[in-house]
Each structure stands twice: as C-alpha cells, then as structure tokens.
Amino acid sequence: MKDLELKYGCNPNQKPSRIFVNDGRDLPITVLNGKPGYINFMDAFNGWQLVKELKAATNLPAATSFKHVSPAGAAVGLPLSDTLAKIYWVDDLGELSPLACAYARARGADRMSSFGDFIALSDVCDVSTANIIKREVSDGVIAPGYEPEALEILKTKKKGNYNIIQIDPEYKPEPIEHKDVFGITFEQGRNELDINKEILSEIVTKNKDLPELAKIDLIISLITLKYTQSNSVCYAKGGQAIGIGAGQQSRIHCTRLAGSKADNWWLRQSPQVMGLQFVDEIGRPDRDNAIDNYIGEDYMDVLADGAWERIFKVKPAVFTKEEKRAWLDKLEEVALGSDAFFPFSDNIERAKKSGVQYVAEPGGSVRDDLVIECADKYNMVMAFTKIRLFHH
C-alpha cells in the first residue's frame, strides 16, 4: 500500500489528509482493525520509535502511553511489586508477562494523562498485555505483531472499532526528513543519535557513584525525552518514567510539572491512598480522578458532605499537607533527565523535593558551575551528556 487516506487532519476542517512515504515505498504498516486518524498515527509512529529504542538499549520489552504526540508514560518490562500492581489496577489479573508489566507501568505513571492514550509496544502483543489494554480507555495500539488470541481480544474494544496497527520492525526511514509549515518545507537529518550508557561517562559532581539501575533509569528518561515535545524533563525510577513535563517554554516549569507528576505517583503509594475503600460500582477512571483530587488541593471537593458517599464506602480522613510532605521525603534514588541544559540551579532545588539523586543533562550553560554546586550540596550524581534532545 503506497498511501492511506485519512478522514481528516488534526481537526475535522483540515482536508484532505493522508499518509505516505516520500520515496515511493510501500507504507510499513498494516491496519488490522479500526480507522486510525492523523493524530493517532503521529502518536503511533513517535511511540514506536521510543519503544524500539528502549528495547535496544535495555534488552527488555518496552511500552509507552502517548497523548498528543508526547508520552504520558514509558517503561520497560520489570516485574511489578504488590503495591505497584494495586495502584495500576492490575492486581486482579494474576501473573503478568514482561510486556504487560511494561504497559502497566507506562499507563500507571500518569493515569490521568494516559486516559484515551495511543499505545506502542516493542514486542508482539500477547494475551496478558491485551487483557490490560482491553479494560482501559484507549484509542489504539501499534506493535510489530499480535498473538491471534490477543488480536481477537483487542478487536472487541470500542464496539469493534479499536485501532490496531501492525508495523514492520525492519522498516528504516530515509536519513533526511521533511516537514511542511505554512507551505514551506523544512529539511533535516533524522535524529539517529544512539543513547546508551556511554553518554553518562562524564560525571561532573563530587559524587561519582552511578549504579547500574540508575544508569538504566537515566537512559529511559533520555530516550523518553527524545520523543517528547520540548522543552521537556523526565523523572524515572525502577525502570519507568514517573513524571514527564512536556512542551513548556521555561525549563523550571518543565521540572515543576514533571516533579508534581512524580510526586503524585509516589503519593498514590502512601498508606492514606492505599487504604481508600471505593464503592464497588466506581470504575477505574473515576477512582483515578478521586485519588488525584484527594492528594491534590481539591480534596475538600471529594470529602464534602454527600460527595464522598458516591465514591467511598468509608469517609477518608484528610490527607494533610504535613503528612504528604513526610511521605514525599521517603522518595529516594530518582533519576532525572533534561532535553537541554539547566540554566539555573532552581531546577536542582525543585528536583531534590521529589527525591532526585541522579541527573543527566547536556551541560553548556554559562551557569554550569552554579548548577553543579547545587547538585553537590545535595550529594547528587550529575552527568553531562553533551547532547541536546529537542523534539518539535
């Protein structure tokens, strides 16, 4: 198939719309079900590149949850603890495959943002992964293949209209890429930069102890940033992104946004949240909303008279600011990647509040010495990668 006509572009008024390969080759994808749209394919192709690189860098199955051309979460297939299985709503599914663990982590990092996501999987979609996808609100999935039973499970979603794309894993695009803006064509070499542990070798802080697990988390954060709309910052821990700040004009706003998401990820694991008792008929999206409000500044909306009875079996106690801070102080050994240098040390100060111990950034700011000094103040390990990862 040389091209594929789409219903419309980014918006319904943007017609005609299609996808094709500039050099005249066949498209490297087959639509197995549904009718993916323009934004679906943007998410799918960016997500596929991300998980393919994560798999190559870590030798582990990888998954990502994309929304509006940036990942809400990305992860590799490490086993889930009982706590993570519970907060990701998969504790009732029994033993999960490594690929299913990767998607549970990617989806669970920021469940609010992942609502209605487009999924990318590095490996053939198995039944274990399909069973998680089946129960979530999602627009579609791209993978190099599907087990027959998994494909049948996915085809039942959205009344049979769920978008399922199979991509040729051997497809390699041309080294020069093009993009049209306002009728003008931009041309550039593709970002084929190989992100591996070697780029973490220049450690500029006094503390130079960078464990292997921290290296994996930093690699995950950097590969995630490679496909995140800039400016962007990514917090990672335990084989997954836990907070992604995308598309902000200011670096500190990226760090704050990603840090707040990392904080929410950790607060979901607190005894106060783990002890919440939901009424049986409340679905996962409504539970996610209730938890987000409970741990946020809108907690009174959840605990107001009459409101809590629709959500909880027992009225929860107020999760005080002091209790939240005490729990957040237990978050440790978080890795932080940035797609460009930190211009001020305020980013390090904010990162410290979310348990950051390891940092990877390009370096090159006129204030590098102040940033390093701040990292040394907290005994952090910081590597200068010498690479910028802007993505637009």
Angstrom distance (rounded) from CA 187 to CA 206: 42
Catalytic, 321? Answer no
240 in a structural domain: yes
Active-site position among 68, 215, 315, 353: 68
Indicate whether 146 and 230 sit together in one domain.
Answer: no
361 in a structural domain: yes
Indicate whether 253 and 160 sit together in one domain.
Answer: no
* pLDDT tens by residue, the chain, 392 residues: 889 999 999 999 999 999 999 888 899 999 999 999 999 999 999 999 999 999 999 999 999 999 999 999 999 999 999 999 999 999 999 999 999 999 999 999 999 999 999 999 999 999 999 999 999 999 999 999 999 999 999 999 999 999 999 999 999 999 999 999 999 999 999 999 999 999 999 999 999 999 999 999 999 999 999 999 999 999 999 999 999 999 999 999 999 999 999 999 999 999 999 999 999 999 999 999 999 999 998 888 888 888 899 999 999 999 999 999 999 999 999 999 999 999 999 999 999 999 999 999 999 999 999 999 999 999 999 999 999 999 99
Picking from 167, 190, 210, the residue at the C-terminal end of a domain is 167
CATH number at residue 125: 3.40.140.20
Catalytic, 392? Answer yes
181 in a structural domain: no
* Helices (H) then strands (E): counts for the chain: 14, 15
Catalytic, 67? Answer yes
Contact 98, 77 (CB under 8 A): yes
Indicate whether 103 and 246 sit together in one domain.
Answer: no
Picking from 149, 167, 185, the residue at the C-terminal end of a domain is 167
Q: Which residues face 141 on adjacent strands?
A: 119, 164
190 in a structural domain: no
Residues 218, 219, 220, 226, CA torsion sign = positive
74 in a structural domain: yes
Active-site position among 40, 131, 231, 289: 231
The pTM for the full model equals: 0.96
Record the tokens describing residue 301, joined without a space.
Answer: 């909306």
Record the tokens describing residue 359, joined without a space.
Answer: 């940092």
180 in a structural domain: no
Angstrom distance (rounded) from CA 330 to CA 80: 19
Indicate whether 343 and 286 sit together in one domain.
Answer: no
Catalytic, 178? Answer no
Indicate whether 28 and 163 sit together in one domain.
Answer: yes
Indicate whether 224 and 111 sit together in one domain.
Answer: no
CA dihedral 80, 81, 83, 86 (to 10 degrees): 40
175 in a structural domain: no
Active-site position among 52, 55, 67, 237: 67
Active-site position among 159, 172, 321, 392: 392
Alpha helices in the chain (DSSP H): 38-58, 82-87, 98-108, 111-114, 127-135, 148-155, 212-226, 251-267, 271-274, 284-295, 299-303, 321-328, 346-352, 368-377
Number of domains forming the structure of the chain: 3
Indicate whether 220 and 350 sit together in one domain.
Answer: yes
Angstrom distance (rounded) from CA 196 to CA 222: 9
Angstrom distance (rounded) from CA 116 to CA 113: 8
Angstrom distance (rounded) from CA 338 to CA 74: 15
Indicate whether 113 and 138 sit together in one domain.
Answer: yes
Indicate whether 365 and 302 sit together in one domain.
Answer: no
Tokens 């106690």 locate to 317
Record the tokens describing residue 123, joined without a space.
Answer: 């490996």
Host domain of residue 73: 6-167
226 in a structural domain: yes
Indicate whether 263 and 335 sit together in one domain.
Answer: yes
Q: At how many degrees (to 10) do helices 251-267 and 321-328 cross?
A: 100
Indicate whether 310 and 242 sit together in one domain.
Answer: no
Indicate whether 146 and 256 sit together in one domain.
Answer: no
Picking from 167, 186, 218, the residue at the C-terminal end of a domain is 167
